[in-house]
Amino acid sequence: MAERRRFENEKLVIASHNPGKLREIADLLAPFNVEAISAAALGLPEPEETGETFVANAELKALAAARGANLPALADDSGMSVDALGGAPGIYSARWAGPQKDFNRAMEKVWRAVEDAMSKDGSVEPPITAQFVCALSLAWPDGHVESFEGIVPGRLVWRPRGVYGFGYDPMFLPESEVENGQLRTFGEMPPEEKHAISHRARAFRQLINACFG
């Protein structure tokens, strides 16, 4: 296995045009005195996500941004995988929200699909288990890339609850909340609490230990 490469630059491109992801990643980077620059601010286009896994898409985006900016770049590819839907929406989580990025519509689409699966297959019954998955890839302009993956198990709730977070957060109840009896969705958790346990935080801790520690 190739030796891990340490991050030693002062600037890091965040290869995302998603404001929610940018805020979360910037918050996670804050203790490391790294200047985070968004791909959008640099006028970098969003590459087509042609990978078949979260890691493949994260690496694709990170490498495109690193080469485009001639700086190290960090990319995230993440989504929600529902067991009753065979892992969907998975890597297509953002696409389920349509061109307008309407995640209220996406959550309704997920729940309708779950109801259809439950009506057609008697083995599908509550709780409706799901996972949030995040792949983080840190790439350099020379093509070197480091990738890490974080997973948070949970279950779906309907109707969505909470005003925090973004994407599918209001319909996702992490298993840790079930275990401690609080039963809050990611959408009901203040950002600092979600950041401590999220799939992105789990991937980020691996990244920090390998490349910043």
Question: What's the rounded mean pLDDT across residues 63-80?
Answer: 96
Domain boundaries, the chain: 11-212
pLDDT on residue 2: 62
Look at residue 75 and tell me whether its pLDDT is greater than 70.
yes
For residue 86 the two structure tokens come to 């065979």
pLDDT on residue 58: 96
CA distance 185 to 80: 14
Q: What percent of the chain has pLDDT over 90?
A: 72
Look at residue 1 and tell me whether its pLDDT is greater than 60.
no
| Cα 159-115-119 angle, rounded to 5 deg | 150
**Catalytic residue (one of 76, 77, 83, 169):** 77
Q: Which CATH number fits domain 11-212: 3.40.1010.20, 3.90.950.10, 3.40.50.620, 3.30.70.940?
A: 3.90.950.10
Question: What's the rounded mean pLDDT across residues 26-40?
Answer: 86
CA distance 147 to 114: 31
Average pLDDT for the chain: 92
**Strand pairing of 73-82 and 11-14?**
parallel
Look at residue 57 and tell me whether its pLDDT is greater than 70.
yes
In the DSSP assignment, the letter for residue 208 is I
- Please indicate whether residue 102 is annotated as part of the active site: no
Q: What is the pLDDT of residues 103-121, one digit of tens each?
A: 999 999 999 999 999 888 6
Look at residue 26 and tell me whether its pLDDT is greater than 60.
yes
Question: What's the rounded mean pLDDT across residues 188-201?
Answer: 91
Report the candidate in 132, 128, 129, 130 with the shortest Cα–Cα distance to residue 202: 132
Q: What is the pLDDT of residues 137-190, one digit of tens each?
A: 999 999 999 999 999 999 999 999 999 988 999 999 999 999 999 899 999 999
For residue 67 the two structure tokens come to 């080469």
Look at residue 22 and tell me whether its pLDDT is greater than 90.
no
pLDDT on residue 32: 87
For the question of whether the overall pTM of this predicted structure is more than 0.85, the answer is yes
CA distance 54 to 95: 14
